[in-house]
Structure 1
Amino acid sequence: MSETDYCELCDLPRSQCIHGRPPAPPAPAPVKKPVTRTRKTTTSSSAAAPKVVTKSAPRKWTPPAAFAPLILEILETAGGSMSADDVLDELESQLADSLLPGDFETTPEGELRWRYAARRARQTLLADGSMVKGSPGVWQLP
């Protein structure tokens, strides 16, 4: 090694010396967390504390909980038991005007989203004891 390969400040080879090493790369920029925006509303009286109201995005499709009471109503009027296809057809006719545009999209399995939500509602009703498992393809009340 030649004299230029040694540090003048500490007499160590530049490969081992802290003076001969390149500067450390710059630290990455900190990742910002998304900010939840809230809308503050106040009442007319100045003594009351302001309420914070969180505004959520509009739903893209109907949640399964919206189908549960209708499923029970349809089964009651049918005498307590009905084929799954007939229940879904009746649901579609009753909810034709209130289904959201996203309800007519398909799931990755190819099923309409509202039908998937109705089947999920049935699973919840089975877990609650509001419905019982009948023969395959039949939805029934206890």
Structure 2
Amino acid sequence: MSETDYCELCDLPKSQCIHGRPPAPPAPTPVKKATTRVRKTTTSAAASAPKVVTKSAPRKWTPPAAFAPLILEILEAAGGSMSADAVLDELESQLADQLLAGDFETTPEGELRWRYAARRARQKLLTEGLMTKGAPGVWQLP
């Protein structure tokens, strides 16, 4: 071996010295792939196409889409126009036994979650053209 094969810091051959070898590259972290379960059925029609089952957590609160048809029904029964508070009160009385426990939690702004979801449903109805903006505090059909 020549003098250039030895480390100047520790006087060991560079093949044995920690100064002469580059650091090992970091080990790649394993990536866990999402898996889907396939449910196999015994019927002949379903045997050709297995069903893919996705897991979902149980709902904590009622989605806004559940309020939209009820809002339209309430407004139709009232003649097409009603104050927002009256609509929300009517929704609460009709859905008293269907609202989930999470619906009575408050949003960070301090509003009940089901009321927030109902207002979101109204916004969707406005964009779809099923409701129109009336006077402030009034919900109305077109």
TM-score, normalized by length of structure 1? 0.79
| C-alpha contact 1:39 1:55 (8 A) present in aligned 2 | no
Post-superposition offset of 1:52: 1.5
Post-superposition offset of 1:25: 5.3
Question: 2:62 corresponds to which residue?
Answer: 62
Question: 2:123 corresponds to which residue?
Answer: 123
Corresponding pairs, count: 133
Structure 2 residues not aligned, in runs of 5+: none
Deviates more, 1:129-138 or 1:40-49: 40-49
CA distance in 1, matches of 2:46, 2:77: 53
1:49 correspondence with 2:48: yes
Q: How does 1:5-16 map to 2 (within 5 A)?
A: 11=4, 14=7
TM-score, normalized by length of structure 2? 0.79
Post-superposition offset of 1:45: 2.7
Question: 2:24 corresponds to which residue?
Answer: 24
| C-alpha contact 2:6 2:14 (8 A) present in aligned 1 | no
1:38 correspondence with 2:29: no
Describe the shift of the 1:40–1:99 C-alpha distance in structure 2 as closer, same or farther (beyond 3 A). Answer: same
Structure 1 residues not aligned, in runs of 5+: 1-7
CA distance in 2, matches of 1:132, 1:46: 47
Question: 2:107 corresponds to which residue?
Answer: 107
Describe the shift of the 1:10–1:63 C-alpha distance in structure 2 as closer, same or farther (beyond 3 A). Answer: farther
User: Percent identity over the alignment?
Assistant: 71
